Homo-oligomer: A and B are copies of this chain.
């Protein structure tokens, strides 16, 4: 399955908690599924530490390779939240208070101490556009094709749908899953022959071992006729092999 560069994305997960193994990253799966529905294919994910020079280099590497970049993490109030300042440097923009973001937070914290940590969450590159945060009010933002989101999955999941109109959607990527109790190694030869005949379909094969072995086959394509033809051929092979 060939993708137009126009319909590609990269994800950058910023956070020591993923690299240390303490936390399993769930944001990749959520963002990739949301993008897949829009016909945008995630081509690369990088998990990197909260280190300014690494954030800058990684964003610069990827923003030229793919149409969209999503970063998660590092936009909170604490000392280790350095994503917004790093992104300012990527685009050579001043890192300053965004007046609207500031106002929202000021309103939210009106009865509490609107301290410097809380104010920091309103700082971003000078030409950033806000991504509203309906849950905890500290906004994300984007500059050009780089979308900067928080690391807490529940907040990210509330914010991402607000970007529906910012993404130029490609043809929807269709996906068909087939669960078979056959071992992957029994299927390999037949699958390889079918894959060679269907250039526009990606056939993935994922073995599992729960009580007994099995394999999940996942077909992906933007071509409805081809993916259905391919599915039919695979199902015929599975019947043949199960006999």
The residues of A with any CB-CB pair to B shorter than 8 Å are 13, 15-26, 28-36, 41-49, 76-80, 109, 113, 115-118, 120-121, 135-136, 151-152, 154-155, 173, 175, 177, 184-189, 191-192, 195-196, 202-209, 213, 218, 220
Contacts and interface: CB of A to CB of B under 8 A. Distances in A.
Given A21-B32, A117-B188, A185-B115, A205 B44 contact: no
Contacts of A115: 185-186, 188-189
Nearest to A120: B188
B16 A21 contact: no
Given A78-B188, A117-B185, A189-B116, A25 B28 contact: yes
Contact of A152 (B34, B48, B209): B209
Q: What's the number of copies of this chain in the assembled complex?
A: 2
Contact of A204 (B17, B186, B191, B218): B17
Sorted from nearest, which 5 A-B pairs have the closest CB atoms?
A117-B188, A21-B32, A21-B33, A45-B47, A79-B192
Given A21-B32, A79-B192, A80-B204, 20 more contacts: A16-B220, A18-B28, A19-B42, A19-B43, A19-B44, A20-B33, A20-B42, A20-B173, A21-B30, A22-B33, A24-B29, A43-B49, A76-B207, A78-B191, A79-B196, A79-B205, A80-B205, A116-B189, A121-B185, A136-B213
Contacts of A113: 186
B218 A22 contact: yes
B218 A187 contact: no
Contacts of A24: 24-26, 28-29
A29 to B, nearest CB: 5
A31 B46 CA distance: 16
Given A77-B184, A205-B76, A117 B175 contact: no
Contacts of A76: 184-185, 188, 205, 207
A159 to B, nearest CB: 13
A117 B189 contact: yes
